[in-house]
A and B are shown apart, each in its own frame.
Chain A
Amino acid sequence: MTAVMERAPGGSGDGVGEGGPGGFRGAVAAEWTKLWSLRSTWWGLVGAFVVMGVMCVILGGAVASNNTNAIAEDDQGVVAVGGIAVDAVDIVQFVVLTLAMLVITGEYSSGSIRSTLQWTPSRARMLLAKASVVAGVLFPVGVALGAVGTAVAYPMLGVWGRFSVGGAVSAALACGVYLALIGVFALGVGAVLRSTAGTLTTVFLLLMVVPMMLGSGGSKVMAHIADSLPSSAGRHFMKGDSVPYPAVAGLVILVAWVVAALWAGCVILRRRDA
């Protein structure tokens, strides 16, 4: 037996390990490769742009018709073109979120999470690698979505649109930041819940239904609670609001939600069997 051990196989020294550093960077590279090798990623992105275009046609058209119809109360006057794209994000985000959470829930449903954890046994490293890829992809995608939305809304608004390059750029950047963050948030929730349907339902309730219910109650406390939820915080951030809190505070609240979701995901991943 000692004789055959001469050619010690494996380990890091015999040519196999020329492919890079492994560790966190390796985990990120693997997640990147996995994301782009699935057709669902491409369909999701195409879907996001289509929904953005359609929403901006609808919202832009609505502003124009509200301003010109007989009812005076619904007149909005001249609006920022970029604001239409930001409004459309309310809906578009769900396409993007589905993409982001599938990065983990898709692995649970297919069983491939066991492969992933075999490659990258550290739960925190695995989740942070996924988060990095999700954020890294969704930020430029979000910026592009914001730009496309603005471009579509501009002709729809016509004279009712106020366009400035600075406004359009900051709206697009804000879309990018928000979608990247909310995508990572969905990823964290996915790590906690593991199921695609469960995660989508939870995220939809938290981002859409709960804020609407709280907001319609008319109670001040409820409105405050609604303002502290991630989607409301994100909207105040994107719109550059100063009421109820400055835009930066909206960003801080949003980041806090993202960190909390990732942390919870990490804890659950560590505690539970794969």
Chain B
Amino acid sequence: MITLRGLTKRYGDRTAVRDLTLEVPAGRVTGFLGPNGSGKSTTMRMILGLDRPTAGVALVGGRPYGALRHPLREVGALLDAKAVHPGRSARAHLVAMARSNGIAVRRVEEVLDTVGLTAVAGRRVGSFSLGMGQRLGIAGALLGDPRVVMLDEPVNGLDPDGVLWVRGLMRSLAAEGRTVFVSSHLMSEMELMADRLVVIGRGRLIADAPVAEVIAGSSRNAVRVRSPRAGDLAALLAAEGVEVVEVEGWDLVAVEVSLERVGLLCHEHGIPLYELSAREASLEEAYMELTGASVEYGAAAGIPAAGAGARAGVAAGLGAVAGR
């Protein structure tokens, strides 16, 4: 279990992480999401005692990382796959790592095998590709058979096979009762991998909830209706205070209303229905909506609703909803 209490980090006058309080539970995969520069890596560095918090504490299993006698046997982490001396072989790196924490050196061959690097273990790390470096980082995280596994963008640079493998690995680590804390920018991957999500923006906590709850909270969950009297239905819904976001010919899209309510309303007023369906938001849409206001390094176009709150995000999301 990872516990953060009021965790804050300032670099000069820039606050990278602001008063973060949360718990990452054991036995679950917890996804860590947030736009570029939102403070994910900084948070993880503080958990590992690499950066000193300006305020607050980060605890692993109830203790600060620096107080762990054999940290690698408690916490396996991959922060930066490049944090390996390029002149050293993968095997030498892992052997040194094992020795530092009194881990049996035979574990090195086991984890090399697990990540599929046995054949290149004698090669200098500097000659590794991005994905090979990433695999070495994952091998290091697994070396001490730790209770807590924390990975910063582990699938970055991995081939599709590797991505699938990491997903399975995270699931099985969590199923064994371990704490798994993973950051990623790949929403589709997160949707498949994570049980819970922690979302931050500009260093602040935005959401800390099960994945299903995050998606359910999205205003982009909509009801789609096809009816020859769509116009009449729109008026009825509007009269009931339901937001109708689009009417086009026979098609109508309304948000924040249940299928049942729309169905009953049509029944009461004798409106024929050709289609009544729910359209569930994707994690990506829910995420975009949550973080829309806190994207700092957005591209000039194509990022929905930067600079507005969640409500304003709805308008931008609708295009996507109606367009399908």
Contact = CB atoms under 8 A, between A and B. Distances in A.
A218 interface: no
Kindly state the interface size class of chain A when it binds its partner: 35 or more
A38 B69 contact: no
Contact of A15 (B74, B95, B104): B104
Interface string A16-58: 1111111100110111011001111000000000000000000
B97 A30 contact: yes
Contacts of A9: 145-147, 176-178
Contact of B66 (A12, A107, A121): A121
A106 B140 CA distance: 20
Interface stretch (B83-91, B182-190, B249-257): B83-91
Nearest to B9: A273
A4 B85 contact: no
B73 A26 contact: no
Contact of A4 (B51, B66, B95, B177): B177
A5 B51 contact: no
B82 interface: yes
A245 interface: no
Contacts of A29: 96, 99-100
B146 A19 contact: no
A216 interface: no
Contact of A37 (B79, B92, B102): B92
A19 B27 contact: no
Kindly state the interface size class of chain B when it binds its partner: 35 or more
Contacts of A117: 48-50
Given A30-B96, A38-B87, A114-B50, A121 B145 contact: no
B52 interface: yes
Nearest to A112: B85
A165 interface: no
B148 to A, nearest CB: 8
Contacts of A12: 70, 73
Interface in A116-142: 117-122
Given A10-B178, A273-B51, A33 B71 contact: no
Nearest to B25: A1
Contacts of A22: 69-70, 100-102
A105 to B, nearest CB: 12
Nearest to A16: B145
Given A4-B176, A29-B100, 16 more contacts: A7-B177, A10-B144, A10-B148, A11-B74, A16-B107, A20-B102, A22-B101, A26-B99, A26-B102, A33-B99, A37-B95, A111-B84, A118-B48, A118-B79, A119-B71, A274-B51
7 contacts: A1-B27, A4-B27, A10-B145, A19-B98, A22-B69, A23-B69, A106-B85
Which 8 pairs between the two chains have the least Cβ-Cβ distance?
Answer: A22-B102, A30-B100, A37-B92, A10-B147, A119-B100, A29-B99, A33-B96, A5-B177
